Amino acid sequence: MISRNLHARVLGTSRKFSRTASRCEILDAESLPGRIIPRYLESKTSDLLSLKWPSPPRNILLMKKNRAPNVTESLIEYAKHIHSNYDNVSLIFEPKVASQMHKRFSFPVYTSSTSEELSSKVDMTTTLGGDGTILHASSLFSTTPDVPPILSFSMGTLGFLGEWKFAEFKRAFREVYMSGAEAGSPLYQDQKHPHVQANPYESGDVVTGWSSVRGKSMGPTRSSKVLLRSRLKVGVYDGNGQRISGDNSTEGADSDVHALNEVIIHRGKEAHLAVVEVFVGGRFLTEAVADGMIISTPTGSTAYSLSSGGSIIHPLVSSLLMTPICPRSLSFRPLVLPANTPITLRLSEKNRGRELEVSIDGKRRSIGVGVGMEVRVNGEHISKGQQWIGGVPCVMRGTTTGVEEDDGWVGGLNGLLKFNYPFGES
């Protein structure tokens, strides 16, 4: 565990110590400068958005797959690379990871145990692992509309959400870091004020501009392409319409939790049918008698919903999927609804007192759902007024080549999901 006392002490003073002195330290992310929020620009050649930092990102959250010791070394290599090449960048780790690894670094690392703090500090998240790690990263921002962009690397087998191979980490990180720094912009050409300049977006702070890495620029700067993956908002309510909070931070005290893949309600371990009343847009739609129900995002359409017979939905189709799990009916076909349709799953009295399990993105809620309780779901509204708001901004791969100006979705279907895989001897 992390010593809070140490943290507290160190926090106010860390900058006073020499670099050598501070090695091995775990500092509280509270002391970090506030978050830099990027903009997302539309382009004509792609349905993806272009990432544009107002100034270079400084606070990077580094995450790794659980229970995968072999990923640890890669994470260390990655962290050291960032620290050595991007000197104004601070690295944040989850508490467990921080305490496990900080001794390996010659520089202090940061940590935070609350989602709120992370949401106010993290400029960008980068994950080493599979889809599960991305889901976990997303869950740290599950109560925030404004999720920092995620740059994800697959370790071992490629996942469907994570686009980059770890071998590409140097190029990938640089590309994201530089994204939006225009050749002619003051920021980009900031040669006279190396490493320091005023942040035009956050007054008072002193930040390093991209000039520090200009020498390593990859020519005319290409911007990273971002897919804004829309989420679900999920709330659990009791029979009286009172919101029930889960028992930990990510289960959403008094606000909705966002899901990147799906929320499911499931019979759990007993092999007996669950009975769930389904309301759509306030109207009773049907009584589901089944193993369970999935309400999924288009992103989640290739996850559990797919296994349950759902269609594959492109992530840019603004919609919600309702897919039953093993329904006791011959005629319960999956539905695709407009993203703004409110959906309610209410536990029927026919469950004879049994509780059902609720899971979000594969994480089971510690508190089940009993008779009369409701899971209320809504698609997250992704909108663009002044700024794009909502969704999980995922940095897509392969944009520097200029070849693939697409979202990589077709490639994923064929390469990973073995979509329409041909018959015959291979």
Ligand X SMILES: NC(=O)C1=CN([C@@H]2O[C@H](COP(=O)(O)OP(=O)(O)OC[C@H]3O[C@@H](n4cnc5c(N)ncnc54)[C@H](O)[C@@H]3O)[C@@H](O)[C@H]2O)C=CC1
Enumerate binding residues for ligand X (CB under 6 A). 130-132, 135, 159-161, 261-262, 271-273, 290-291, 299-300, 302-304, 307, 326, 328, 361-362
User: Which residues, 172 to 211, sit near its own copies by CB under 8 A?
Assistant: none
Partner whose binding site includes residue 249, from its own copies, ligand X, none (CB under 5 to 8 Å by kind):
none
Residues of span 343-362 touching its own copies by CB under 8 A: 352, 357, 359, 362
* Widest distance between CA atoms in the chain: 73
CB 259 within 8 A of CB 297: yes
Given a contact cutoff of 8 angstroms between Cβ atoms, the answer to whether 271 and 290 are in contact is: no
Of the two residues 244 and 316, which places its CB atom closer to its own copies in the complex? 316
Nearest to ligand X of 161, 187 (CB atom): 161
User: Interface with its own copies includes 49 (CB under 8 A)?
Assistant: no
Binding mask 50-69 for its own copies (x = CB under 8 A): -----------------x--
d(C-alpha 149, C-alpha 175), whole Å: 13
Among 27, 288, 395, 396, binds its own copies (CB under 8 A): 288
The tokens describing 391, both together, are 């969704």
Closest distance of CB 244 from ligand X, Å: 21
54 binds, among its own copies, ligand X, none (CB under 5 to 8 A by kind): none
* b/e per residue 289-317 (b: at least 16 CB within 10 A): bbbbbbbbbbbbbbbbbbebebeebebbe
Among the listed ranges 84-92, 142-150, 203-211, 287-295, the one in contact with its own copies (CB under 8 A) is 287-295
352 binds, among its own copies, ligand X, none (CB under 5 to 8 A by kind): its own copies
Size of the site for its own copies (CB under 8 A): 76
Does 19 engage in binding with its own copies (CB under 8 A)? no
Give the closest residue to 257 by CA, choosing from 233, 287, 275: 233
Contacts of 69 (CB under 8 A, 6+ apart): none
48 binds its own copies per the rule CB under 8 A: no
Q: What, of its own copies, ligand X, none, does residue 419 touch, CB below 5 to 8 Å by kind? A: its own copies
Q: Is 333 in the site for its own copies (CB under 8 A)?
A: yes
Residue from 49, 92, 158, 377 touching its own copies (CB under 8 A): that is 158
Cα separation, 286 vs 78, in Å, equals 50
Of the pair 58, 267, the CB lying nearest ligand X is at 267
Residue numbers 364-423 binding its own copies by CB under 8 A: 364, 406, 410, 413-423
Q: How far is the CB of 244 from its own copies (least distance, A)?
A: 18
Q: Count CA within 13 A, CB hemisphere, residue 134.
A: 25
Interface with its own copies, residue 11, by CB under 8 A: no
Q: Using the rule CB under 8 A, is 280 a contact of its own copies?
A: yes
Cα 98 from Cα 272, distance rounded (Å): 43
Contacts to its own copies from residues 64-103, by CB under 8 A: 67
Among residues 5, 331, 386, 401, the one that binds its own copies under rule CB under 8 A? 331
Burial code (b: 16+ CB inside 10 Å, e: under 16) for 53-72 equals bebbbbbbbbbbbeebeebb
First-to-final CA distance of the chain: 51
Own/partner long-range contacts of 353-357 (Cβ < 8 Å, ≥24 apart):
354/267, 354/270, 354/272, 354/274, 355/268, 356/265, 356/266, 356/267, 356/268, 356/274, 356/276, 356/292, 357/264, 357/265, 357/266, 357/267, 357/268, 357/292
Query: Residue 309 interacts with its own copies (CB under 8 A)?
Result: yes
Contacting residues for 282 by C-beta, under 8 A, at least 6 apart: 342
Q: Which is nearer to its own copies, 35 or 267 (CB)?
A: 267
